[in-house]
Amino acid sequence: MAKKTAFITGITGQDGAYLSALLLSKGYRVTGLVRRSSTAEINDLRLRWLGIEKDVELIDGDLSDLSGLVRSIKDIRPDEIYNLGAQSFVKSSWQQPILTGHVTAMGVTNVLEAMRIEAPEARFYQASSSEMYGLIQEDMQSETTPFYPRSPYAVAKLYGHWITVNYRESFNLHASSGILFNHESPLRGIEFVTRKVTDSVARIKLGLSKELRLGNIDAKRDWGHAKDYVRAMWLMLQQDTPDDYVVATGVTTTVRDMCRIAFAHVGLDMEKHLVIDPLLFRPAEVDVLLGNPAKAKAKLGWVPEVSLDALIREMVDADLKRLKS
């Protein structure tokens, strides 16, 4: 059987790195799109953390450049395309709403159009987001729950989600979306709340800092491990029929309790170090997100394997290791 080729946008991000590792373990040729920048020398940091930086092929490109995407897909001839690239930080989307729209929304159309032109037989995965639910319309969100996005990022993700459905129905493409709830790991960016917490806890433990400043710690999220979630992405593209799936643990936890797990892991009293900063509250808050993964479990055979406690402990240990070295 010929080796499959995968093309991943956002390959140097958390999900891109873990997905690359998974696909390499399955014998894939893995290629990925990398946006040129002045920080190019650290672009493969996450790939290096996993020890796979020499096993993937990185290609210069940008989600806003349709002609470049067409050329890349023509040259690579991928069997599977995973669109993970985006401006993915919710807070920044209020400061950069137009950029977020160009990359996170229109970038999806560009990848789909390049695929339609050069690789219509390929299979496509779109990274949709639980942020699309926003002001939740049901206590537990499934594939049929109405969307109510509450940030420019969420609005852009909703466009990307629906344009994927539209290309699937208009051009008969094998295009699926994973509506992924929050998923974290030691490779999570420092700007995201879980990593901000684990990095700060590690710094406090080592005497490098004294406090952790957060906004709304009563917000509730459904958190899982990125390694589990990229496995769901791959499973979607192995199905005969494309479809959309919620990927979540089905358990919601407050930011406060997530912090408590991190502080307890290193033997610290959270109350002595946690500071609530009103400046860190979002303009429009998403108070609760809780996913219903029943469809993914039934049709894909997918179940999460890593608990939140184990995830946070792994992240704290990784940050302690980084800071000590």
pLDDT of residue 288: 86
Q: Report mean pLDDT in 10-residue bins for the chain, 325 residues.
A: 92 97 98 76 85 96 96 98 88 86 96 98 97 94 96 95 98 98 95 94 97 92 97 98 98 96 97 88 77 98 97 98 94
pLDDT of residue 278: 81
pLDDT of residue 1: 66
Q: Using CA of residue 112, residue 118, residue 120, residue 123, what is the dihedral sign?
A: negative
Residues comprising the chain, all counted: 325
The answer to whether residues 253 and 309 touch, using CB atoms and an 8 Å cutoff, is no
pLDDT of residue 199: 97
Tell me the β-bridge partners of 184: 225
Q: 224-225 and 183-184: which strand pairing?
A: parallel
* Tokens of residue 128, six digits: 């949709």
d(CA 98, CA 93): 8
**Which DSSP category does 288 fall into?**
B
Domain locations in the chain as residue ranges: 5-183+226-247, 189-221+251-289+307-324
* Tokens of residue 213, six digits: 């400043």
pLDDT of residue 41: 60
pLDDT of residue 92: 81
pLDDT of residue 38: 45
Residue 115: name the closest of 163, 69, 56 by CA.
Answer: 69
**Which DSSP category does 146 fall into?**
P
The CATH topology of domain 5-183+226-247 is Rossmann fold (3.40.50)
The answer to whether residues 170 and 290 touch, using CB atoms and an 8 Å cutoff, is no
Q: What's the pTM value of the predicted model, to 2 decimals? A: 0.93
Task: Let me know if the fold of 5-183+226-247 is the same as that of 189-221+251-289+307-324.
Answer: no
d(CA 194, CA 218): 14
d(CA 277, CA 265): 24
- Look up the CATH number of domain 189-221+251-289+307-324: 3.90.25.10
pLDDT of residue 88: 72
d(CA 130, CA 144): 13
Query: How many other C-beta atoms can be found within 10 angstroms of the C-beta atom of residue 297?
Result: 15
